[in-house]
Amino acid sequence: MNLSDLTSINELSPDAVAEVLDLALRLKKEQKAGKEHPILKGKTLAMVFEKPSLRTRVTFEVGMQQMGGYALYLGPSDIQLGVRESVADVARNLSRWVDGIMARTFSHKTVADLAEYAEVPVINGLSDLEHPCQALADFLTIHERKGDLRGITLAYIGDGNNVANSLMLLAARVGTSFVVACPSGYEPDQSLWQSAKVTGETTGSRLLRVEDPREAVREADVIYTDVWVSMGQEEETDRRTRDFQPYQVNSELLRHAKPDAIVMHCLPAHRGLEITDDVLDGPQSVVLDQAENRLHAQKAVMGLLMG
């Protein structure tokens, strides 16, 4: 893969996406069979966290260990990016000690600046604009459940947030149609939407925004939702809860969808808000498969960037 960093799905060509997913499938198969793959033996990943996470920390740390490397956790109090030290200076220093940097930040600019000044690969573990590793794990899961990604439809219900942004960019690259149902004012990033539409014209991916979630799920093979209130938006809880109430993924909404549609959520979930217990824990849910595939997709990304 001819790529130095992964800060955005926009950096991945359709061929690069296929390369990541193919390697992820191979590494997953080998891991299940107990076969070692020390492709990052002796390599070190610095994990920079401005906000906490269960799945991101565990999957990157375990993934490095499984590939023969080492992951170093750097929490909010360890670095204080842009406070104790500039992002550029942190990037330059880390480049002298480690072989790769994963950053989970509030501002996307922080990830972009790390990539600009670091001399080692930088991976976006989440920013306010994108969540590319989540999207890759999700499409790995969809591929396992639905086969060919081209020609299927993903319906995203709720807030057009960082996860939605990365999902639509990746859908456009693999030929999956993307329908988002959200209230006015909560749409995905407009510039990324236009970018995805341009890409979709070459792959056959159709992008559509609607306000009625029932319309969105009618032809969907995949139904996806995420929290209505992300970290840093707590002051907006009352307004967001009110605005998104009609967008709950529940059994009534599933009655309007294909009977074999799968339900996805990147977790953690606010049970009883954006999704109900019976759906989250029900037979159509693949949320634990998604969570597991964070490990395998990220191992593929690290292997291709740092190997």
pLDDT value of position 63:
98
Weakest-pLDDT range from 79-83, 208-212, 214-218, 288-292: 79-83
The domain total for the chain is 2
101-126 residue pLDDT tens: 999 999 999 999 999 999 999 999 99
pLDDT mean across residues, the chain: 96
270 assigned to active site = no
State the Cα torsion 159-165-167-171 to the nearest 10°.
Answer: 120
Q: Is 92 a catalytic residue?
A: no
Residues 48 and 76 in one domain: yes
* Residues in Cβ contact with 191 at an 8 Å cutoff, skipping those fewer than 6 apart: none
Note down the domain range covering 80: 9-131+294-306
Euclidean distance between the first and the last CA atom of the chain, given in angstroms as a whole number: 11
Residue 81: pLDDT band with limits 50, 70, 90: confident
Q: What is the mean pLDDT of residues 43-48?
A: 98
92 lies in the same domain as 140: no
Are residues 121 and 153 part of one domain? no
56 found inside a domain? yes
Q: Quick check: is 157 in a domain?
A: yes
pLDDT reported for residue 42: 97
**Same domain? 115 vs 199:** no
The C-alpha atoms of residue 75 and residue 236 are separated, in whole angstroms, by 26
User: What pLDDT does residue 48 have?
Assistant: 97
Residues 22 and 88 in one domain: yes
Catalytic residue among 57, 131, 265, 296: 131
H/E stretch holding 207 reads: strand 207-210
Does residue 74 sit within a domain? yes
Q: In this predicted structure, what is the pLDDT of residue 2?
A: 78
Q: Is 66 an annotated catalytic residue?
A: no
- The CATH number linked to 18 is 3.40.50.1370
Q: Which of 127, 124, 139 is nearest to 302 (CA)?
A: 124
Same domain, 140 and 283: yes
Choosing from 5, 128, 138, 226, the catalytic residue is 226
Give the 3-state secondary structure of residue 283: coil
Residue 131 annotated as catalytic: yes
Looking at residue 38, what is its pLDDT? 98
The predicted-structure confidence for 170-186, as pLDDT tens digits, reads as follows: 999 999 999 999 999 99
pLDDT at 4 over 80: yes
pLDDT digits (tens, 9 = 90+) for 234-271: 888 999 999 999 999 999 999 999 999 999 999 999 99
CB-CB neighbours of 156 under 10 Å: 28
Same domain, 138 and 286: yes
Average pLDDT over residues 156-171: 98
269 located within any domain: yes
Answer yes or no: do 93 and 17 share one domain.
yes
Say what the pTM is.
Answer: 0.97
Within a domain: 145: yes
The single-letter code of the amino acid at 228 is W
In a domain? residue 3: no
Q: Which of 285, 260, 287, 13 is nearest to 152 (CA)?
A: 260
Catalytic residue from among 55, 143, 173, 294: 294
Q: Are residues 80 and 164 in the same domain?
A: no
162 in the same domain as 40: no
122 and 139: one domain?
no
Cα angle 70, 107, 268 (rounded to 5 degrees) comes to 65
User: Taking 90 as the threshold, does the pLDDT of residue 155 lie above it?
Assistant: yes
DSSP state of 219: T
Q: Report yes or no on 4 lying in a domain.
A: no
- What pLDDT band is residue 83 in, cutting at 50, 70 and 90? confident
Q: What is the amino acid identity at position 285?
A: S
CB 167 within 8 A of CB 178: yes
- Asked, for residue 160, whether it belongs to a domain, the answer is yes
Per-residue pLDDT at 82 exceeds 90: no
Sheet holding 122-126, edge to edge: 70-74, 44-49, 100-104, 122-126
> Is 209 among the residues known to form the active site?
no
Angle between helices 162-174 and 190-203 (to 10 degrees): 20
pLDDT in tens, 278-304: 999 999 999 999 999 999 999 999 999
Instruction: Please tell me the predicted confidence (pLDDT) of residue 56.
Output: 98
Residue pLDDT, tens place only, 21-43? 999 999 999 999 999 999 999 99
Percent helix, percent strand, percent coil in the chain, to nearest 5: 50, 15, 35
Residue 233 CA to residue 301 CA, distance in Å, equals 30
Question: Are 34 and 21 in a shared domain?
Answer: yes
Residues in contact with 238: Cβ distance below 8 Å, sequence separation at least 6, in sequence order: none
215-239: pLDDT as tens digits: 999 999 999 999 999 877 888 899 9
- 221, 266, 290, 298: which one is catalytic? 266
